[in-house]
Structure 1
Amino acid sequence: MEHIVFEIGLAIALVAFAGLLSGRLKFSVIPFYILIGMAVGPHAFHWSVFDLRFIHSAPLIEFMGRIGVLFLLFYLGLEFSVGRLIKSGRKIVVGGTIYIAINFTLGLVFGWAAGFPLEETLVIAGITTISSSAIVAKVLVDLKRTANPETEMILGIIMFEDVFLAVYLSILSGLVLSGSSTLGGVLLSAAVALVFMLAVLIVGRKAVPLLNRLLNIRSNEAFLLVVFAALFIVAGFSEKLHVAEAIGALLVGLVFAETEHRKRIEHLITPFRDFFGALFFFSFGLTIDPKSLITKETLWLSLAAVAVTLVGNFAAGMLAGRSAGLSAKSSTNVGLTIVSRGEFSIIVANLGKAGGLLAVLQPFAALYVLILAVLGPLLTKETKAIYRVVGKFIKFDSDQRSVQHK
């Protein structure tokens, strides 16, 4: 621990190098952050004379990465509006249900077709269903799409996924860890998650006049401290209620977006978002063991799962978007923007490990997440080109909510 400051300095230097390299290559920076984290993580290959692995500082970097997720989702909420979200409640429920139903069903079918037992199949379905809130937020901000019409549906699906995740983890942990799960416990987890999110949105909107007065602070230092206090307290409290802390941060951002201080908060929070957000993806790379990714079973299983996810996401995004009245092009953006997988998939995989399930689940999840973390931002950036290519095979009727094959 005596060299912790030096290790953190090296980590920041490597992250900066990755950012500069991606800028020169004009490619999404997220894969570079993850790959360089893998190269210097505790599991990476090391030289006998010079060991560049981040071992002592890894827990601290991981914590800083968690803070990065909070800032990413908080900023994304600031760019949106709780009023628009509440008005679109029905569309979001319908779209979120479509998205979960398609991707979860495909995950179950994939696990069964691959020959896995029931419990492993349920874990695989969980891994392949839930999007990465952090990556989605980063991509939307980087591509300046926060004001796009489809962003409303994307945010809604992210929140809907969290309710599903709360329920599913309750069921899965009961089956995997204890061999049983009560209906009452599952319903309670779902109700708590849903009530908490609705309460923050509704009460927060009513409290906007009060927030306007409370945030009328001249000092930027005191202003930021008040904003940070609200962010971390609500995010931490949401975690205690088994709602992802990232969703708590998103909710705080949605509430503050209604205040007259939104622009000031955005301006002051941006450097924290960029710095800690970069460390999140770097810390994610630190957790991946490169040696576990190169086995034949892991490779083919991951590639097949990626193919299934791409098809499922495109179909789900198209159907969810069209159900909300979005154009075919915007609906394509929905499916491709939320294709990335990340922190939630790793959580589900770790649950399988804790339950003593097949060892292949963790390396499978790591490689699957890594591939989609690379592909997701790239596909999102190229949605216009993908829409044109797909349009050669599928006829999109702009006036109707249906998609007809040629």
Structure 2
Amino acid sequence: MPDHAPLGYLRETLLFLALAGILIPLLQRWRVNQTLGFIATGVVVGPHGLGRFAAKLPALGLLSFPHPEAVGALAELGVLFLMFMIGLELSAERLWSLRRWVFGGGIAQVVASAAAIGGLAWLFGNPPRVALLLGCTLALSSTAVVMQSMTERRTLATPLGQAGFSILMLQDLAVVPLLILVGVLADLAPGAVQAIAAPGGDAGWLSPGLAAALDSLGMALLRSTLALALFALLGRRVLRPVFRSFAQQRSPDAFMALTLLCTLGSAALTGALGLSLALGAFLAGLLLAETEFRHEVEVTVEPFRGLLMGLFFMSVGMGIDPLALLRDPLWLPLSVLGLFAIKAVVVALVLRAGGLDWGRAAEGGLLLGQGGEFAFIVIGDALARGLLDEKLSQFMLLVVSLSLFATPFAARLGERLARLWDARRGAADEPAGNVDGAAPGAMAGHVVIAGYGRIGQLVARMLAGREVPWIAVESDARRAATHHAEGLPVYYGNAARAELLGKLDAAHATAIVVTMDQPAAALHAVRAMRAACPHVPIYARSHDAAHAVELRRAGATAVVPEALEAGLQIAARVLDTLGVGEVETARLVEVEREREMGAIQAGRSS
């Protein structure tokens, strides 16, 4: 018999699953941001919370994590899936539709915030490379917290929501250079930096320190360039064909395995090149964002992502010592206020320059004034590489965490300032902006087509002719790939999955059209659509009258039997050949159509 435990950290795993099972429903019911909820829980049950007393009160050991390394490995998986999902959201189409705000306002905000925060960090005595790292890291805001806040306040479809979402997209895109920057700064050892100007040596006009610094910088850039080139090549030549091959098998298990392999394998590849594991996961998501498999991959990863991200944020909370607040009762709150002040001013000026009024600009500045969840990843990576010491890392983690907890209060203050500005100017409510494709909930008014065969394509052409936006989901991977490559909004997936319908924003659609070839698949899809979108009209194609009755019972608003229309067309041609007049033929066809459709509406087939 082995003398070790059959499953390492089984107690910790069970405790986390129990906490997640309790926390997630409660946080959703109370409308508390899950990121904040898991961080707070990690503080309470971590080694600096209940775990501090586990040695004296063994019973508390059952309800705490006295050893945070027990969840460290799984928490790192949460980081990878977080970065993968961020990359998956950054499609070229979405970036281009918001290019003015993304590449104008977003770049201005990141550069100005990084310069201000980094300059202040340098004035407080931090080395230049540490000040640069802190400035770039704290310039980013929390996508998770801000997006949930805007969703709850229903501001995503406003000009402020459009601008805020665009700035967050640019910040997410800044992940790649920032992760590369960590590796570059880590290679530039302090001794090499200090010796750059030192004279002497055999390097000719170069000092030994400068030569060493340039050599390490060149190697870091070479590794980064090699990683990006490999991913670009794999994405174009390997990734899409492999996903298409697995999708054609129509095996959810195989597709899930491939998705996990892509995420973790990409992380392993960048790790082997000496770069961040998170960078590989992000690049994998970025490549898949341009394929027809994007929505199906999102749905596949969602359950893992939610749990593992919760574990990651809980592990962040476990690393926070509440007693540190007592050790720094002055500088911690001042640092949080300073972070909000700098970023709020910068964001407000950017939004004002973009055309928003001062009230909305101030609201947006306070909403995006916190540090982001990505800071936990960068600070942890920098600590592991020796860029930051333990004391500074702990201090910065506390600053970012407290800024996240302060965000709801800052957001409410911003709303009050916006209302005061409106009252002063006598302005009406802010009009909704055109943010088509910008954010979840912003695609209202489109038509969802389930099945992109000959009938689905006909429907799409007629909608496009009237400039009605549409999006299609197709279960045939080859067909989806062909039409997606033509630039059409056709994605691979199973239309009967409620999660996929959420990604297509079907609940806000004008109508759903079901034109699927397989009768059973169409029936399952209609049932799922009616459950997920109770108020959206569903128009379905059936193969015969009996199938039409089943679709009606499943919740379809109207059903058109394909066999009926084909039979009526043939009958009309026969009557025309027999010399029956055009008007009489049309009348007979319409009478028969109404009779058959009436039978279907009544729930019986003839």
> Under TM normalisation by the shorter chain, which class is it?
0.7 to 0.9
Matched with 2:418 is 388
Matched with 1:106 is 116
Decide whether the 8 Å contact of 1:123 with 1:172 is kept in 2: no
Matched with 1:31 is 36
Supply the distance in 2 between the matched residues of 1:4 and 1:348 (Cα, whole angstroms): 24
Decide whether the 8 Å contact of 1:333 with 1:380 is kept in 2: no
Deviates more, 1:326-335 or 1:63-72: 326-335
Q: Deviations over 1:252-301 (max 9, x none)?
A: 22322333333322222221121111111111111222223321xx2322
Q: Are residues 1:62 and 2:72 paired? A: yes
Matched with 1:308 is 338
Supply the distance in 2 between the matched residues of 1:208 and 1:124 (Cα, whole angstroms): 38
Q: Deviations over 1:142-172 (max 9, x none)?
A: 8659996443442322332541453355336
1:208 to partner: Cα distance: 7.4
Q: Find the partner of 1:117 among 125, 132, 155.
A: 125
Q: Deviations over 1:75-122 (max 9, x none)?
A: 343344134447878975655653343233323443355xx4342x75
Amino acid in the other structure paired with 1:22: L
Amino acid in the other structure paired with 1:34: I
1:21 to partner: Cα distance: 3.9
Amino acid in the other structure paired with 1:159: L
Decide whether the 8 Å contact of 2:48 with 2:320 is kept in 1: yes
Amino acid in the other structure paired with 2:296: R
Decide whether the 8 Å contact of 1:68 with 1:273 is kept in 2: yes
1:37 to partner: Cα distance: 0.9
Supply the distance in 1 between the matched residues of 2:40 and 2:57 (Cα, whole angstroms): 23
Kindly tell me: are residues 320 and 254 of structure 1, through their superposed partners in 2, closer, same or farther at Cα, counting changes over 3 Å?
farther
Q: Find the partner of 2:85 among 56, 75, 92.
A: 75
Decide whether the 8 Å contact of 2:188 with 2:217 is kept in 1: no
Matched with 2:14 is 9
| Greater fraction of residues in helix | 1
Amino acid in the other structure paired with 1:290: P
Residue identity over aligned pairs, in percent, reads 21
Decide whether the 8 Å contact of 1:192 with 1:241 is kept in 2: yes
Kindly tell me: are residues 362 and 269 of structure 1, through their superposed partners in 2, closer, same or farther at Cα, counting changes over 3 Å?
closer
Q: Which has the higher contact order (CA 8 A, sep 6+)?
A: 1
Q: Are residues 1:350 and 2:383 paired? A: yes
Which structure is larger by alpha-carbon Rg, 1 or 2?
2
Kindly tell me: are residues 247 and 375 of structure 1, through their superposed partners in 2, closer, same or farther at Cα, counting changes over 3 Å?
farther
Q: Deviations over 1:4-51 (max 9, x none)?
A: 212221122223333344334332122221122122222332151323
Matched with 2:235 is 204
Between the two proteins, the alignment pairs up a number of residues equal to 387
Q: Are residues 1:229 and 2:239 paired? A: no
Decide whether the 8 Å contact of 1:34 with 1:284 is kept in 2: yes
Deviates more, 1:79-88 or 1:156-165: 79-88
Amino acid in the other structure paired with 1:42: P
Q: Are residues 1:42 and 2:56 paired? A: no
Local SS of the residue matching 1:182: helix
Query: Where do 1:171-190 residues align within 5 Å?
Result: 171=185, 174-176=188-190, 180=194, 182-186=213-217, 188-190=219-221
Supply the distance in 1 between the matched residues of 2:219 and 2:376 (Cα, whole angstroms): 24
Deviates more, 1:281-290 or 1:137-146: 137-146
Kindly tell me: are residues 256 and 171 of structure 1, through their superposed partners in 2, closer, same or farther at Cα, counting changes over 3 Å?
closer
Matched with 1:339 is 370
Amino acid in the other structure paired with 1:166: I
Matched with 1:404 is none
**Runs of 5+ unmatched residues, structure 2:** 195-211, 431-606
Q: Deviations over 1:224-262 (max 9, x none)?
A: 111111111112323444554334323322322333333
Supply the distance in 1 between the matched residues of 2:12 and 2:139 (Cα, whole angstroms): 27
1:198 to partner: Cα distance: 7.1
Query: Where do 1:323-334 residues align within 5 Å?
Result: 333=364
Amino acid in the other structure paired with 1:140: M
Amino acid in the other structure paired with 2:65: F
Matched with 1:369 is 400
Q: Deviations over 1:312-354 (max 9, x none)?
A: 323443455677x6856599658844733331453377369x4
Q: For the aligned residues, what is the CA RMSD?
A: 4.3
Q: Deviations over 1:181-237 (max 9, x none)?
A: 714533553565467447646863676763562233311111111111111111232
Decide whether the 8 Å contact of 2:43 with 2:321 is kept in 1: yes
Kindly tell me: are residues 213 and 375 of structure 1, through their superposed partners in 2, closer, same or farther at Cα, counting changes over 3 Å?
same
Kindly tell me: are residues 216 and 140 of structure 1, through their superposed partners in 2, closer, same or farther at Cα, counting changes over 3 Å?
farther
Kindly tell me: are residues 383 and 76 of structure 1, through their superposed partners in 2, closer, same or farther at Cα, counting changes over 3 Å?
farther
